Structure 1
Amino acid sequence: MQIDQVETFLDLLDTRSFNRTAERLAVTQSTISGRVRALEKALGERLFDRSRAGTQPTTAALRFEVHARVLRRAWADAQADVKPYGAAVMLRIGIQHDLLDNHVADWLAALRSALPDCGFYVEGHYSGQMCRDLESGALDLGVVFSPRPSPDLYFESMGDVGYRMVSTKVEELSQVAPVDYILPNYSPAFAQTHATMLPGLSEGSVSSGQAAAVRGLLQALGGTTYLPVNMADTLITDGAARAVANAPKIAQPVFVAMHLRNRHRAAYRRMAKVLRDRVSG
């Protein structure tokens, strides 16, 4: 098993597309396929099912995901530990899954400009896991949707990100049928706001808490749902969906999180400011 196989596996879980992962990792699709086959051979289990509807992880893949993330983090730690004296300090940053695809390049460029003597390792996570990793020291900084109360953690508001309702079937909110609605469950705060604004659409037979998965369901099944504004705008521009008239936009609060002991350290204050300026701006 090689680290590039693990990286490819985790990226495929996010994109659900061999073509998209090949683009993101700057390799050919045949290379992606070869890495997946090698990993499946090493594990003795099939990891992905491919069809016209897209690429879907198997049960074995979902079970392997947590171990793959541990392997990737251990590799990053090993790389940081063997750096010679004077090499860049490696800071580990977790970012909420829904923010990773649209924002990570801009945020990482800004962080590198603000802290040129530091290296950055970035990965996508959910809020609960990031809070646990911050407590244990496995992460240095987290960008989360749902702060988890802890005497060891410190949170600051970064502002809000927006979600827009889009559809492949209807034009207006009054036309949305619950049977065709893909229920988004991006965070407890989002779910509460959604239930208050749209009580008639707060139950669904299909639901997901990750924007990439919700987008995949919308494209595969058709229907109506909420997606991050940038993701929604891309589908609208491509003609793959339309904005639903009269549907309210839902705002999701975003927080930067760190261990309490780091809240006054200059590097952490600088990172928090960079990220806050990117969201609030």
Structure 2
Amino acid sequence: MDVNLARTFLMVTETGSFIHAARKMNLTQSTVSARIKGLEDQLGKPLFARSKAGAELTAAGEQFQKHALALVRIWQRAQLEVGISDQHSDHLAVGAPSMFWDALLLDWFASLRADTPQIALSASTGLSTALMQRLLEGTLDLAVLYRPRQPRGLMIEHLFDEEIVLVTSVLTPQRRHASDYLFIDWGPDFQQDHAAAFPERANPAISLDLGSMALDYMLANPCSGYFPARLVRPHIAAGRLRLTKRARKFTYPVYAVYPEARNEEAYEPILDSLRQFVTKHT
């Protein structure tokens, strides 16, 4: 299948309009319509319900959307790897939620780059479900995730246990107000455990779905909240944050996920490097 057909389909899906898709892609509307018609002919199903209001995905279109994304990603990866083949012997694509890049995986990337300069590296962030899908597609080589499910074809290996602790930027012990509490979203498991442990904090004054970026807010404002211990450890040592004693802690296992069918000779040094790095830095 021509990857341009998949790209055009995704643009119509994004904009909800053949006209807007044509403008964004710098094409004529008739070209966009012809591409979608050709795609529908190949698949034998209508992908969009057309109306004066625009274009909405049909049930078949919703099913095809994930495959179109996979086609485009695989093509982009092929272009990247062919393009770098004269400078690098291999390419490693790693995905993880944003919280794992700060104070961990970016530092591992630097170490891996120093040890194996012949390998090109790329990093992605996203939700666990999307990263797992990309592993199955073959557009990611490795992911680091909390409690992933294990679909056929993927290996899951425990790396370390993430401890999430309560810290405060109020450096002298004093009575805290509910308005000082900062809720940071560390994923569905934490949301569920936090709600069970602190029902009185069901509606916090400040809630941030920003992961590790919320640390900047805490360092600039007097408040308290839960953070992974590895993120706040340097700030506690420097006296910028204080660990709240006797507060409940939450612990979640972290796993490396990678294809079951893989080149052992190429993968094992990379996995060993990751294992050694997290052992030393967590």
Unaligned runs of 5+ in 2: 1-23, 25-71
Q: Residues 206 and 132 from structure 1, CA distance in 2 versus in 1: closer, same or farther, beyond 3 angstroms? A: farther
Structure 1 residues 175-254: aligned runs within 5 Å: 175-219=175-219, 222-237=222-237, 239-254=239-254
**Can you list the C-alpha shifts for 1:88-143, whole angstroms capped at 9, x where unaligned?**
21111113311212123431244346656422222333322211211112211111
Code of the aligned partner of 2:82: D
**Can you list the C-alpha shifts for 1:128-182, whole angstroms capped at 9, x where unaligned?**
221121111221111112413422432111111222322234766x944433221
Question: Do structure 1's residue 256 and structure 2's residue 223 form an aligned pair?
Answer: no
Query: Which position in structure 1 is the counterpart of 2:50?
Result: none
Query: Which position in structure 2 is the counterpart of 1:164?
Result: 165
CA distance in 1, matches of 2:238, 2:87: 47
Query: Which position in structure 2 is the counterpart of 1:155?
Result: 156
Q: Residues 226 and 73 from structure 1, CA distance in 2 versus in 1: closer, same or farther, beyond 3 angstroms? A: farther
CA distance in 1, matches of 2:219, 2:85: 48
Query: Which position in structure 2 is the counterpart of 1:107?
Result: 108
Question: Do structure 1's residue 279 and structure 2's residue 256 form an aligned pair?
Answer: no
Q: Residues 185 and 171 from structure 1, CA distance in 2 versus in 1: closer, same or farther, beyond 3 angstroms? A: farther
CA distance in 2, matches of 1:175, 1:149: 45
Q: Share of identical aligned residues, percent?
A: 22
CA distance in 2, matches of 1:143, 1:246: 30
Q: Residues 280 and 210 from structure 1, CA distance in 2 versus in 1: closer, same or farther, beyond 3 angstroms? A: farther
TM superposition score normalised by structure 1: 0.61
TM superposition score normalised by structure 2: 0.60
- Quote the RMSD (CA, aligned, Å): 3.5
Query: Which position in structure 2 is the counterpart of 1:97?
Result: 98
Q: Is the 8 A contact 1:207 1:214 kept in 2?
A: no
Question: Do structure 1's residue 139 and structure 2's residue 117 form an aligned pair?
Answer: no
Structure 1 residues 22-61: aligned runs within 5 Å: none
Q: Is the 8 A contact 1:211 1:228 kept in 2?
A: no
Q: Residues 177 and 154 from structure 1, CA distance in 2 versus in 1: closer, same or farther, beyond 3 angstroms? A: farther
C-alpha deviation, 1:240, in angstroms: 4.1
**Can you list the C-alpha shifts for 1:18-47, whole angstroms capped at 9, x where unaligned?**
xxxxxxxxxxxxxxxxxxxxxxxx9xxxxx
Q: Residues 151 and 73 from structure 1, CA distance in 2 versus in 1: closer, same or farther, beyond 3 angstroms? A: closer
Q: Residues 84 and 106 from structure 1, CA distance in 2 versus in 1: closer, same or farther, beyond 3 angstroms? A: closer
Code of the aligned partner of 1:266: E
C-alpha deviation, 1:82, in angstroms: 1.9
C-alpha deviation, 1:220, in angstroms: 5.5
Query: Which position in structure 2 is the counterpart of 1:23?
Result: none
**Can you list the C-alpha shifts for 1:172-221, whole angstroms capped at 9, x where unaligned?**
6x944433221122123333443454444454243234433322343455
Alignment partner of 1:261: what SS?
coil
Code of the aligned partner of 2:264: R
Query: Which position in structure 2 is the counterpart of 1:265?
Result: 264
CA distance in 1, matches of 2:258, 2:94: 10
Code of the aligned partner of 1:111: L
